[in-house]
Amino acid sequence: MAGTRRRAALTRFRRRYARQRAGLYGAAILLVVVLAALLTPLLTDPSGMDVTKATGARMAPPSMDFPLGTDESGRSVLLMLLWGARVSLLIGFMSALLSMVIGTVFGIAAGHFRGWVAAVLMRVTDWFLVLPALVLAMVLAAILGGGPSTIIVAIGVTSWASTARLIRAQTLAVEARPYIERSRALGAGHWHVMTRHVLPNVAPLVLANTTLMVASAIVTESTLAFLGAGSGQVSWGTMLRGSYDWGAATSGAWWYVLPPGLCIIAVVLAFTLCGRALETVLNPRLGGAS
Amino acid sequence: MLTSPQQVRDDTEEGGARRAMARYALVKLGGTLLSIGLVIVATFFLFRLIPGDPTIAYTRDVPVTPEQLALLRRQMGLDRPLGAQFLDFVVRTLRLDLGTSYEYRRPVAELIGERVGPTLLLVGTGLAVAVGLGMWQGTRAAWHHGGRFDRLSTGTALTLWSVPTFWLGLLLLMVLAAGVGPIPGLFPTRGMEDVDAPGGPLYLLHVAHHLVLPCLTLVAVVYAQYLLVMRSSLLEEIGQDYVTTARAKGLRDDDVRRRHAVPNALLPTVTLVFMQIGFVVGGAVSVEFVYSWPGLGLLFVEAIRGPDYAVMQGTFMLVCVAVIVMNTLADVVYHVLDPRVRSA
Amino acid sequence: MVRTGKRLAALSLALSMATLLVAHASPSAAKASQTSQGTAVRSPQTEKRIVRLGATQSMDSMNPFLAVRVVSTSIHRWMYGFLTVPDSKTLKPGPDLAESWQTSPDKLTWTFTMRAGATWSDGRPVTAQDAAWTFNKIMTDDGAKTANGPAVENFDTVTASDDRTLVIKTKKPQASMLELPIPIMPKHVWESVPDIGTYENETYPAVGSGPYIAVEHKKNGYVRLKANPSYWRGAPGIDELHVIFYENPEAAIAGLKKGDIDWIGRLQGPQFEALAGDPNITQWNTQGRRAAYLQFNPGAATAGGEPIGDGHPALKDVRVRQAIHHAIDKKTLVEQAQNGLAVPADGSIVPPMYQEFFWKAEGDKAVTFDLAEANRILDEAGYAKGADGVRTMPDGKRRLEMRFSIHTDEPVEDKIAQFLTGWLKDIGIQLTTRRLDSNKFTEETGSTALYDIAISGWSVNPDPEEILATHLCSRRPTASGQGGGTESFFCDKEFEKLYQAQLAELDRPARVALIKQMQERLYTEAPVVAIYYPNNLEGYRKDRIASITPIPEDKGILYGGSSYWPVYSLRAVERAAAPAGSGSGSGTVVAVAVAVVVVLGAGGLLLMRRRRASADDRE
């Protein structure tokens, strides 16, 4: 019975999403990029990323062997883009996940509880909401030292507040419904209400929000890398930093400067389009009348 | 982050509007002070997490004897218990004593003072242009919802929003300041002014000339959010009965938009402007670095590279406090302006 | 209301664009109006001879007692005289504000005779009192020690017996007495400064005795220097020297190519290469004074011999250090990390620029890139390879997994790390890179010894004594953990003996031979392994700078050396007041800008029309 209902809901969702043209484009781009990132280890040889094993000339323009030219050590830019996608996406997903978990916990708790608990939670959320996230992330990255996990933490910890706000509003709406009252009367505890009733109801919104969050996390990662707080692995952000460090722009090596930036734009745009489409489908009021 | 404009509305009780207002102001003030307090506490503990001995950092490149080092530790209060150090830190911060920079050997507060102007100029101009552009395009996009302008402007804005700020800045620098191929370098490659800056009113133009590229970069990356919010809140207004009524009454389309829909849709956007100041400041950091713009963002990046912890700490606190204060102001303005909230 | 507002906005946009253009198109007009406001009247025939130097850092302080950045110490060398200055040909100390000097037989008392006729830029004579005040200030005031405290550490007393005689008594003999990095400051101006440690020295024109006078400093913007007409050697050949700060090296290169600046020094390889092919730019590529090397943790200990830190035990074995030396392909590193613009190091830490002191390993002694040899040494020494290719200690307890410490935000070091990791993998050592900010780096590699292998590098002065001293036992940290300036935690009896011998050796060739032996010892014991000596890379615009003499004169440095010779010798290209080139340049600017304004205006009009039309349609 519940299964049928869920399946029906899924079909409805799919049909509604299919009407979001931009969202479809976004999803298509994401599908391609994620597939490429997943297949890279199977299709390419990671030794091409080792500078001592690089075969190309330094900063060579595109050719048959190197469709997107080479970097300052003679590595294929295309190969680096593929491997870099893995790191960029990983950092994007992981930090969005971290941010989502913190945001959801804070949001649901702030919406569920009353009194000083809610007040304190909201105060902290508001605090994180207004703080300049990039500046805080830079401080965190500088203090915690390099590495992908540092970057994930720095981005995750600084970007959850808006999720929390959104989830709180939704939680308040859900908890106002009569069946929650009934469930309480039947002796359901805080935990039960939050995990069994509130969470499933806010989950779609969380999903939409997380999608948007991945987008900004990828941009933030590249900015941190550029400003010197890199993950130490080849990502699109560190590639851009490398092209800057090795003077690719002034020496005219557009094949090293443009592709990583365009990849970031494409993927971030794709995530944003998907997120907006999801928002519209799941919560028509939010996306306006579109 | 792209956020929706939903904003807190603190409920005030029924009763004398003035009493409610006073109470509201008090609550707001309390909240703001609490936030600022939180910034100070967070800063203290964040910067105590740094491994290593700050005195060693401070005496880098300078030979010192163990006695001098002990003296320095005493002077910096590092030999006292954490609680006492914290109290000391709070007192000094409140007195605007932010410590001394290792790099410049000068009080951090002074360094920050020199850098505030250029950053205000950049962020202020950028914000004004971005908000203006966003609102204008947002309004138009919503009014001709689904049309070509809507799709084009929303698409452009979202694409530009996806661009890493520093990358866009570098590209613009290479194309419009350095010049590529047939395109001449129209704009300066660095800073806010040159050595031979003219005096008098021409000086303003001189600075404006330097401001074009940094401002353009900042605007391109941040205006999308204002466009989107303006668009969606106007769409909501358009769906309301009163707009339909007004249109049905035969009012000119333009008038309906200008007199009724836009003013109502404006509030969420204005709120967002202030809520997202932190985001704009973040963008300014990259922009200032790329264009050697002598502002706080550049000071901050330099401090991180140094590393110059005192400067990092001071800039961080200042930026956070400034953003918090701006938000409170926005809340208050919102409260005063929005009749719905005031009469609640 | 709204529409008028919009129109107003459009109008003001167009207006501001237009005015911007005017401002840009006619810099000479703007400047003319500025001068007419001021008092100076310039001859209309020739422009001021100005040279603009770009720097990729800004002044840390205008106070020479505090400033340590290269840009600041360079500018101070142009603003203030020193006791001595390196000779422009030989780099050996020559007279500057001190005309001549004598030493007592015990080498403890130095008597300098100050130059007659040298004046401060405010007209007062430069005397021995000024010099004595400067040194005494640094010796007695902790606040004044920041920049040059170590240089006077060994001073006992400094006195001026009369206006022209300066007597310095040292506690121990000091070889570097004629290379003191301390500018002589005007006592009559500085005496009244209450606290040197916080004084900014931002009064202009600054009183100095060098070839240039600082007349303006826009913090984080630029420093403007004027030729000193009363300079004792005679005024320099240009009117003004501007030092312009860039935060972004790429922007600085763009600025040089475009003509926003005329000269830039201390370039990195990629930036230098980007200048190639520009017909207006001279690329300046000469031997540098820097050595880049790796330092190993040879079982670090304090000056008292107490072991400290957590260095990998295998590195105590000189055979392991030598094997790693064999696994470094210095030629490739020069090619890849320095764009080929460096000299691979066959010697030790003294670069070949200093021909006299430079030592080079030859024949069998030379360690070549040979992975097989490295593997053979390690096999023979009992470090057996495991199944995964990583070796273990002879006792089988610890794997050869090591850390490589570099600085954050240093692309060249990152590149070296990438290569080193690859090569060491081939000889069974697993390397992981640690990026540390410079505070932590200094602490971990200089006092707490929490490293295995670390990057290092040093700019070497004409006399290499100081750089060699950084490998003495006594330089190791004290028991309390305070660093003594060691660059390697090296402590070797043989090396100490040679060091003491060269200190006492007064015959120069004999001392040179001893210093070469010290370098050989460093090479074979390998507490440090030199990788390469980066070239000094600069670039300047031929159409702006007519001539500039490097130091040393044959093939030397332009910017960043320890003298004022290059900037003193600068000659600008003489130009008429309204150069034809700039006229055509601004012509393009005007054309493009007018086009932009027209397009914008037309677009705006069109938009308004269309909107009105659509609004009317809908009614």
Q: Which residue of B has its CA nearest to C478?
A: B66
Separation in Å, CA of B106 to nearest CA in chain C: 6
Please indicate if any CB of chain B lies within 8 Å of the CB of A273: yes
Report helix, strand and coil shares of chain A as percent, to nearest 5: 75, 0, 25
pLDDT digits (tens, 9 = 90+) for C390-439: 999 999 889 999 999 998 888 899 999 999 999 999 999 999 998 888 77
Residue C403: what residue type? R
Residue C206: what residue type? A
User: Which residues of chain A are within 8 Å of residue B232 when distances are taken between CB atoms?
Assistant: 286-288
Whole-angstrom distance, CA of residue C619 vs CA of residue C617: 6
Interface chains of chain B (3 or more CB pairs under 8 Å): A, C
Q: What is the DSSP letter of C385?
A: B
| Inter-chain residue contact C270 with A142, CB threshold 8 Å | no
- Name the nearest CA neighbour of B122 among B301, B287, B327: B287
Q: Which residue of C has its CA nearest to A58?
A: C336
- Residue C19: strand, helix, or coil: helix
pLDDT digits (tens, 9 = 90+) for A134-192: 888 888 888 887 788 889 999 999 989 888 988 888 888 888 888 888 888 888 888 88
Q: Which residue of A has its CA nearest to B307?
A: A142
Which pLDDT value is given to residue A84? 93
pLDDT digits (tens, 9 = 90+) for B194-232: 888 888 888 889 999 999 999 999 999 999 989 988 888
Token code pair at residue B91:
């007192």
Give the Å distances, CA to CA, from C460 to C154, C343, C354, C562.
21, 15, 9, 11
The string over C46-75, giving b where at least 16 C-beta atoms fall within 10 Å of a residue's C-beta and e elsewhere, is ebbbbbbbbbbebbbbbbbbbbbbbbbbbb
Q: Given A223, A273, A287, which is nearest B164 (Cβ)?
A: A223
Separation in Å, CA of A228 to nearest CA in chain C: 5
| Inter-chain residue contact C418 with A73, CB threshold 8 Å | yes
Decide if A80 contacts A141 (C-beta within 8 A). no
- Name the nearest CA neighbour of C438 among B52, B265, A186, A30: B52
Return residues 71-110 of A near C (CB < 8 Å).
Answer: 72-73
- Name the nearest CA neighbour of C225 among C80, C349, C14, C30: C80
Alpha-carbon dihedral sign for residues C167, C173, C175, C180: negative
| Inter-chain residue contact A50 with C422, CB threshold 8 Å | yes
Please indicate if any CB of chain B lies within 8 Å of the CB of A167: no
Please indicate if any CB of chain A lies within 8 Å of the CB of C497: no
Which pLDDT value is given to residue C461? 77
Alpha-carbon dihedral sign for residues B79, B84, B90, B93: negative
* Regions of chain B short of the pLDDT cut 50: 1-14, 342-344
- Residue C571: strand, helix, or coil: strand
Which pLDDT value is given to residue C129? 95
Residue C18 has pLDDT above 70, yes or no: no
Indicate the average pLDDT of chain B.
82
Quote the Cα angle for B112-B115-B116, to 5°.
85
Separation in Å, CA of C369 to nearest CA in chain A: 14
Which pLDDT value is given to residue A286? 46
Whole-angstrom distance, CA of residue B240 vs CA of residue A249: 52
| Inter-chain residue contact C23 with B198, CB threshold 8 Å | yes
Q: Which residue of C has its CA nearest to B62?
A: C146
Q: What is the mean pLDDT of residues C142-147?
A: 82
Which pLDDT value is given to residue B257? 73
Residue B83: exposed, middle, or buried by beta-carbon count in 10 A (0-12, 13-18, 19+)? exposed
Q: Which residue of B has its CA nearest to C588?
A: B184
3-class DSSP string for A41-63: HHHCCHHHHCHHHCCCCCCCCCC
Which pLDDT value is given to residue B198? 83
Residue C508 has pLDDT above 90, yes or no: no
Please indicate if any CB of chain A lies within 8 Å of the CB of C273: yes
Token code pair at residue C552:
């040393």
| Inter-chain residue contact C271 with A247, CB threshold 8 Å | yes
Whole-angstrom distance, CA of residue C460 vs CA of residue B252: 80
Which pLDDT value is given to residue B267? 76
Which pLDDT value is given to residue C277? 87
Decide if C339 contacts C537 (C-beta within 8 A). no
Separation in Å, CA of A116 to nearest CA in chain B: 14
Which pLDDT value is given to residue C4? 43
Alpha-carbon dihedral sign for residues B100, B104, B105, B107: negative
Q: What is the DSSP letter of C409?
A: T
Q: Given A51, A145, A241, which is nearest C419 (Cβ)?
A: A51
Q: Which residue of A has its CA nearest to B313?
A: A139
- Name the nearest CA neighbour of C330 among C468, C532, C134: C532
This model of the complex carries an ipTM of 0.89
Q: What is the mean pLDDT of residues A189-214?
A: 86
Which residues have a Cβ under 8 Å from the Cβ of A231 and sit 6 or more positions away?
A87, A91, A146, A147, A148, A150, A151, A221, A225, A237, A238
Separation in Å, CA of A127 to nearest CA in chain B: 6
| Inter-chain residue contact B162 with A269, CB threshold 8 Å | yes
Which residues have a Cβ under 8 Å from the Cβ of B267 and sit 6 or more positions away?
B233, B334, B337, B338
Q: Given C37, C197, C245, which is nearest B105 (Cβ)?
A: C197
Mutation target among C220, C281, C450, C612 for the B interface, most CBs of B within 10 A? C220
- What count of CB pairs under 8 Å joins A to B? 158
| Inter-chain residue contact A136 with B316, CB threshold 8 Å | yes
Residue C50 has pLDDT above 60, yes or no: yes
Ramachandran assignment for C393, one of left (phi > 0), alpha (psi -120 to 50 degrees), beta (any other): beta
Q: Which residue of A has its CA nearest to B172?
A: A249
Indicate the average pLDDT of chain A.
87
